[in-house]
Amino acid sequence: MSNNDIKAIVLAAGKGVRMESDLPKVFHEILGRPMLAYVLDTLMDLEIDDIYVVVGHKKELIIEYFEGWPLQFVSQDQQIGTAHAVMQAKAALAGFSGTVLVLNGDMPLISKKTIFKMLQLHAKNSASATVLTAKLNEPGSFGRIIREANGEVIKIVEAKDASPEELKVNEVNTGTYCFDAESLVSALEDVKAENVQKEYYLTDTIEILKEKEEKVFAYCTDNPIEAMGVNTKDELGKIESLLSA
């Protein structure tokens, strides 16, 4: 699989209400750089040329900061879910039959090695989708990964919807995925906003693909710290400590 066969979509549209600031969440700085820059650096280290950044809240700040970077920006004017965010890049996927990598702009610790290994597993299995997962001692509110005996993913179940048995599972969804482009576009068209938040969730594409009897796998990182996202200033401080160590 050459890197010409990969397009990356980075989700960076959110405000991040719990950050207690009006800045876009991914624009908060870690060691003097926006956290989004760390994710983009990793993609460029992988020599992925087609990188689409989905921006929304105060998007002009992000677009101006990254002027001159080899990026393409797509606007999500209403922040109504991760699947809706990916759909904003749909025009870029027209006629593309390679792999689409979807990442969150608020996961600055994700490594080149982990993404590469996930892409390798995805290609080896000729999967429609591959989810990056992590095993946590305290999985808390993360969505749980329910697998079949052969390692294929059955579903991702949100913690609030999980049975007591499913809550015992400590392998969780990090929100990072590889998709076969055509399978992704097809599944996105079937995502419905039938939830309390009335949002379109990317996790729903996994169940849609399974219903179509397509193959879904998961790559579990051996370094769960990489799955740390930033939702609060406290979490921002923890990641800053890790990066400055």
144 is catalytic: no
Element (H, E) at 206: helix 204-211
Q: 114: exposed, middle or buried (C-beta count within 10 Å: 0-12, 13-18, 19+)? A: buried
- To the nearest 5 percent, what fractions of the chain are helix, strand and coil? 35, 25, 40
DSSP H stretches of helix in 46-147: 59-65, 82-87, 90-93, 112-124
Whole-angstrom CA distances from 124 to 1, 82, 182 are 10, 27, 18
Number of helices followed by number of strands (H, E) in the chain: 9, 11
Query: Of the candidates 199, 159, 179, 200, which has an alpha carbon nearest to the alpha carbon of residue 98?
Result: 179
CA gap 6, 158 in Å, rounded: 28
Of 60, 46, 31, nearest to 112 (Cα)?
46
- Distance (Å, whole) CA 195 – CA 218: 25
Which residue among 18, 33, 144, 147 is the active-site one?
A: 18
Structure tokens at 153: 């993913």
**Sign of the four-CA dihedral 11, 17, 22, 25:** negative
Active site residues: 18
